[in-house]
Structure formats: structure tokens, C-alpha cells
Structure 1
Amino acid sequence: MQKQYFKEYSPTLGRDMEGMVYGHAGRPMLFIPCQDGRHPDFEGFHMTETLAPWIESGQIQVTSIDTLDKETWSDKGGDPYRRARRHEAWMSYIFNEVAPAMIARAEGINGPDADNHIISFGCSLGATHAVNCYLRRPDLFSGMMALSGIYTGAYGWDSYSDEVVYANSPVDYMANLPHDHRYIEMFNRQRAVICVGQGSWEQPDTTFQLKNIFAQKGIDIWVDAWGYDVNHDWPWWHKQATYFMPWLLGR
């Protein structure tokens, strides 16, 4: 499997950011690690092995990046106003630095006529981030696989809320999305899946909230609940990724 490490200064964040690219060709996929995670987690938790059939065959090229969760969602003792804006800066880093670089790389490899828009992918809080990327910017992200996320800003900010927390709380901003919003047509042309188990450590309530919101808005996103034996842990995320990948790629 071809691998390429990168370390680049982010003007948006004012610091160096690291990551790894896996694969030589195919649809770009952005992997966002679990809470407080860093880019080596994609390989360290063996997701490279799970997705190897699609990576090595040139169907996907995965970019794994670092989170800033320790400064944002996880820093419960920090100033919530500052934490929210630091998180939003990280989202801007994804939208304005990571995503354009991924798309440009894919166009150079696959050609400009291929589908070079990004699939967002994450588990746990990584799924929360993946959903926010997809729902906020379907012009950049044309697919999504989110496993075991929690889709409310209250998970990171408790009772505090402002416009930035709201912008990262899918159950809130999607509930207020106009029924004629242009993004709905975009969602319905693409393939995206949100999955949650109902076993130990899973918190499926906000997944079910999103499923109801999507139904009310006429949004075709597959929301799938697995059984009461399905726990919030990597062995199940490997099984789910294997199950959903062929459908996600339309194969």
C-alpha cells in the first residue's frame, strides 16, 4: 500500500498540521480520528487493513488528519467561547486547506472528469466531525460514512450555546434547514450513511433525531441502527465499514 506522510503549516490554525495519505488513486476519502485522536490512528487501529481491498485496488485514496479535540470538544474546563471558535478554525482548515488539496491531488491522478469529491469518514467523535463536514459542505463532500457519532453540540459544550456551537450541532441546524434548500437536492444525488449500534457505550438518540429530521425534509441519507449486541468499539466499526463500502462506492 502506498503511503505518504505530510507536515504542513496551516495559516488558518497558526501551527503545523500532520497527516498521512494511503493509496495511489481513486475517490478521495477524509478519515477523521476518534476523540482526541491523531492521524496515525487510521493505521494504528487497523482500519488500513479493513479498507485495504478498496485502497490497494485504486478505488479510494484515504487522507488521515489530526484532530484538535483536546483544545475544543474535550477541554471542558476551558472558555467555551474560545473553544468553539478554535473548533471552527479547524473546520475552516478542513474546508479551505485539506479539502482543496485532496481534490487537486485526485484530479491530478484520476483526471478532471472523474468523481474527485471527498467522502468523509469517522467513528465516534470522528463521525460527528464527518457529518458536520458533509452536511455543511456537500459541494466539497459527495459521500459520507459516519459510525457511532453524537450529533449535538451539547456533547462538547453542555448548556453553553452560541452561533458557532449551533453551526456544529447537526440536530439543531438540520431541523431548521428550509425544505427548499439547494443542499437537499445535492444530498439526494449522493450516497451517505450514518450508522449506530445499540449496545454498550453507544448513544443512539441523536442518530434517531437525525433520521426523523431527514425524513421530514425529504433527505435521502441512509440511517442504519444495528442491534443491541453492537458496541461502541473498533471491532464493530471494522465490520460496518466493510459492509457499507461497496454501497457507498456504488459497487
Structure 2
Amino acid sequence: MKEQYTKYYSHRLGRDIELLVYGHWGYPVLVFPTTMGRYYEAKDFGLVQSARRLVDEGRIKLYCVDSIDRDSWYAKHLHPSLRILNAIQYDRFLNEELVPWIQQECNVGKVAAAGCSFGGFQAANFAFKHADKVSHLFTMGAAFDIRDFMSGYYDENVYFNNPPDYLPNANDPNLWQMKIILGSCLADFCKPETERLSAILTAKQIPHWLDIRWHGTHDWPIWKEMFPEYLSQI
């Protein structure tokens, strides 16, 4: 399986963002790491290997991106207003720099977004905010209400980065065209959050698959089973 390490300099963030890219060709899938995870996490925990057949066949190409969680959502040393501003800059890096580069490299109009646990929130938040750029969304063991990270602080920036808040009022027609899978397992402590997001999508008549048939807990072994099955839907 072809592996390429790359650094992408982000003018929005004023720093290099590291990525691992897997595959020689295929539909691009942007993979977000879990809580404070790094770009190599999906490789180290076997998530990439679980999708090897699809990658080797040239059906998909994985872009495992780094996070800035330590400077945003998990930056407890910063005031919550600064945490959310840093998260917004990361979103701008994705929307204005990285994803357009991936679109050009793969000659596609949209990309897929995927993530486990907190990476599932990152994938969903990006997909819902920029539905014109995302064709598929796959979340695994994710929770989606970001207010717990804000220490009681709330403003419009928090609102527009909290899917349970802004999604009921969203009207981008691309949302109804997106292929969405919300995966969780029966014993996952994030299952209620996944079901809550599914209820919001259902109320808006946005097609999606709520997949909670898996036996297990909030951990990599289940996500490694989910991932290739979900990718095969592309």
C-alpha cells in the first residue's frame, strides 16, 4: 500500500500541518484523528490497514490529517472564546486550503469525511458546515455536542460549530444529497449522542443510516470493522 508523508503549510494557521496519504488513486477520504490524536494515529491503530483492500484496488485514497485539538477544543489554558476561534481557523484551513488541494489532486468535486470518536465530531462538523464539498460522511463512536468543552461559555461561534444547535436550521440542499452513516455500538457511551443526531436528521428528512448493530465498546476493534464496510459504500 502506497504511503506518502507530506507537510502542508497553512497560511490560515501559520504553521505546517502533517498528513499521511494512502493510495495511488481513488476517491479521497479525509480521516480525522481522535481526541488530541496525530496524523499517524489511524495507521498506528490499524484503521488504515483495515481498508487496505479498497486502497490497493484504487477505489479510495486516504488523507489522514493532523489536528490542533491541543490549541483549540482541549486547550484548557485558553479562554473558551479563544479555543473556539482557533477551531474556526482550523476549519478555514480545511475548507479554504486543504480540501481544495485534495479536490484538485484527485480531480473530484467533493470529498468524503470520516472519523472515530472526537474525529467523528470533526468530520461531521466539517461536512455539515461545508456540504458543498462533502459527498459522504462516516462517523464511528462519535458525540456531537461541543458545549461540554466550552466551560459554560456560549456565543455565536460556539453555535455555528455545534451540530445539534445549527443543524436544525441548516438548509444547504447538498445535505440532502450527502451519503451519511452514523455508526456506534450497543455499549458505546456515545450511542445516545449518535441517536440524538440521527433524530435531528430524521426530523429534517435528511437521508442517513443509523448503524448501531455492533457488539462492543468505544474502541478501535469495532471501528476497524466499521470503516471498510462504510468505505465500500463509496
**Aligned letter for 2:148?**
Y
Residue 54 and residue 7 in structure 1: after superposition, are their counterparts in 2 closer, same or farther (change >3 A)?
same
Shift of 1:116: 4.6
Shift of 1:138: 1.3
Residue 150, structure 1, aligned to residue 143, structure 2: yes
Shift of 1:77: 3.6
Residue 18, structure 1, aligned to residue 11, structure 2: no
Residue 220, structure 1, aligned to residue 202, structure 2: no
The separation in 1 between residues aligned to 2:60 and 2:146, in whole angstroms, is 30
Counterpart of 1:235? Answer: 221
TM-score by length of 1: 0.88
Aligned-CA RMSD value: 1.5
Shift of 1:78: 2.0
Contact 1:187 1:221 (C-alpha < 8 Å) held by counterparts = no
The separation in 2 between residues aligned to 1:243 and 1:7, in whole angstroms, is 29
Shift of 1:150: 1.0
**Aligned letter for 1:132?**
N
Residue 123, structure 1, aligned to residue 109, structure 2: no
Shift of 1:204: 2.1
Counterpart of 2:79? Answer: 79
Question: Which has the larger displacement, 85-94 or 167-176?
Answer: 167-176
Counterpart of 1:106? Answer: 106
Shift of 1:235: 0.1
Residue 187, structure 1, aligned to residue 170, structure 2: no
* 1:60-110 deviation per Cα after TM superposition (whole angstroms, max 9, x unaligned): 111111101111111234210011000110011011111001010001xxx
**Aligned letter for 1:128?**
F
Aligned match for 1:206, one of 186, 189, 193: 193
TM-score by length of 2: 0.95
* 1:151-187 deviation per Cα after TM superposition (whole angstroms, max 9, x unaligned): 112132142111111111111111233xxx2x2x423
The separation in 2 between residues aligned to 1:102 and 1:154, in whole angstroms, is 31
Q: Gapped runs of 5+ residues in structure 2?
A: none
Residue 103 and residue 193 in structure 1: after superposition, are their counterparts in 2 closer, same or farther (change >3 A)?
same
Q: Secondary structure at the residue paired with 1:230?
A: coil
The separation in 1 between residues aligned to 2:48 and 2:8, in whole angstroms, is 23
Contact 2:51 2:228 (C-alpha < 8 Å) held by counterparts = yes
Counterpart of 1:38? Answer: 38
In percent, how many aligned pairs have the same letter?
26
The separation in 1 between residues aligned to 2:162 and 2:151, in whole angstroms, is 12
Q: Gapped runs of 5+ residues in structure 1?
A: 108-114
Q: Secondary structure at the residue paired with 1:43?
A: helix
Question: Which has the larger displacement, 202-211 or 214-223?
Answer: 202-211
Shift of 1:225: 1.9
Contact 1:197 1:204 (C-alpha < 8 Å) held by counterparts = yes
The separation in 2 between residues aligned to 1:84 and 1:130, in whole angstroms, is 16
